[in-house]
Amino acid sequence: MSDALRLEKYSFGVGDRFAHQAKAQLRACVQAAGRGVEVTPVWNKSFREHSIVGSEPPSVLAAAEAAVKELGWDKPFRVDADHIRLDTVDGFVETSDFYTLDVADSIGEPAAEEDVRAFVERHTELVGRLEIPGIAEPFETTREEIERIARKFLKAVQDAGRIYRHVASIKGRGNFIAEVSMDETDTPQTPPELLVILAAIADEGIPAQTVAPKFTGRFNKGVDYVGDVTQFEKEFNEDIAVIAHAVSKYDLPSNLKLSVHSGSDKFSIYEPIRRALARTGAGIHVKTAGTTWLEEIIGLAESGGEGLELAKEIYGKALDDIDALCAPYATVIDIDRAKLPSKEEVQGWTSLEYVGALRHDRKNPLYNPSLRQLLHVGYKVAAKMGGRYLDMLKSNAEIVGRNVTENLYDRHIVPLFVGAETAAGAGGD
Ligand SMILES: [Zn+2]
């Protein structure tokens, strides 16, 4: 397994819904490399996104390869079959080398009682006082507590094992990166729960290189974190310590790291994350997606003329169709409808007003998070426009691309990664 595909220390998930921004996205990683920070780009697109846009998984690899060639990127890149399950994975197997095994829906489904009992018997080390380096207060657990956690998560981990083995039977073990994701659920997993989950992942024989728990707080699409940042930082630090501990105790890849499904733009937790990376030398995977589609709209609006008109039309149609557009994302958006401007109002906007409302600049008084979330989930409107939308992207490629790159580099990559490595010293793999 020494030549198994291994995910790098810092990786950054980007979404390119209309397959026109891979080059602009990659340029952000080129800029990071210029600052001495190696960030591996991972193009992610879920089954849900493909269905809404009407695209097929191979298009993601094709766009990534074209960008890599054009920019002469000679470092690794990955293509993530994002949030796949057993019933949706097959279309991705040809062209993805990263698999986000989504088993959030299986959380709480009871595993077979004898499996739960066997797990607890095998893992007596999880019961009692657990001293974990890097966590000030030892965990105190009882056998009942571990049983309760196993009962809640074992079935989900077993399901992840089923998807993993299915992919492995086609691609071969070691030829792809596996992530276990449990983020799309309501209740966050506590650090002791994460430890139990990791023990179970090791038992299940999944060589997970990333794990995506549900963190405390709300991760609404395209807008900032909503929650207690101090609490987040404590949990995040404990999760890092739990992972290091699990890697030392169980049969798990040594590069196992946290994956943050950010829903894009969780700026207020970037600083705590960067601090934790600097302090511990841990790696991280941060997923974004829709933030790039919003930069397309911003670029079009900024271009004025027809681009601005199209951006207004997209908003109008999104507003008309708000219920249907929001439905698949109901648990990950918080739109205050009273704050949404009318179509007529937006019709009268200048470039500056449109861009000000949409661009994620918390200092701009025009910034409107409700409008931003609506447009975030509104990409189906552009998908329906088909060639008209894509032609507009092509004729405004430069201004759109500049916004895409600047957004990823200045607002995401720099606050997350630049400085983290130097402070952590020569650590890493
Ligand atoms: Zn996710």
- The model's pLDDT over 143-181, given as tens digits with 9 standing for 90+, comes to 999 999 999 999 999 999 999 999 999 999 999 999 999
Ligand 1 mean position to 309 CA, how many Å?
A: 33
426 pLDDT more than 60: no
Ligand 1 mean position to 183 CA, how many Å?
A: 6
Mean pLDDT of 29-48: 97
Ligand 1 mean position to 37 CA, how many Å?
A: 25
Ligand 1 mean position to 375 CA, how many Å?
A: 19
Ligand 1 mean position to 105 CA, how many Å?
A: 12
Residue 27 makes CB contacts below 8 A (sequence gap 6+) with 71, 401, 405, 409
Percent of the chain exceeding pLDDT 90 equals 94
Ligand 1 mean position to 345 CA, how many Å?
A: 34
The confidence score (pLDDT) of residue 427 equals 41
Q: Transcribe 232-277 into DSSP letters.
A: HHHHHHHHHHHHHHHHHHSS--TT-EEEEE--S--HHHHHHHHHHH
Ligand 1 mean position to 136 CA, how many Å?
A: 29
429 pLDDT more than 90: no
Mean pLDDT of 58-75: 98
Q: Report DSSP state, residue 411.
A: I
User: How far apart are the C-alpha atoms of 264 and 276, rounded to whole Å?
Assistant: 19
Mean pLDDT of 402-428: 80
The three state secondary structure string of 163-210 is HHHHHHHHHCCCCCEEEEECCCCCCCCCHHHHHHHHHHHHHCCCCEEE
Sign of CA dihedral 283, 285, 286, 292: positive
Residue with tokens 């930082």: 233
Q: Report DSSP state, residue 110.
A: P
The confidence score (pLDDT) of residue 150 equals 97
Q: How far is CA 106 from CA 25, 101, 103, 209, 260, in A?
A: 34, 12, 5, 21, 20
**Helix (H) / strand (E) containing 359:** none
Query: Helix, strand or coil for residue 181?
Result: strand
Q: Which two tokens stand for residue 289?
A: 């997606």
Ligand 1 mean position to 229 CA, how many Å?
A: 20
120 pLDDT more than 60: yes
The confidence score (pLDDT) of residue 1 equals 47
User: How far apart are the C-alpha atoms of 265 and 220, rounded to whole Å?
Assistant: 9
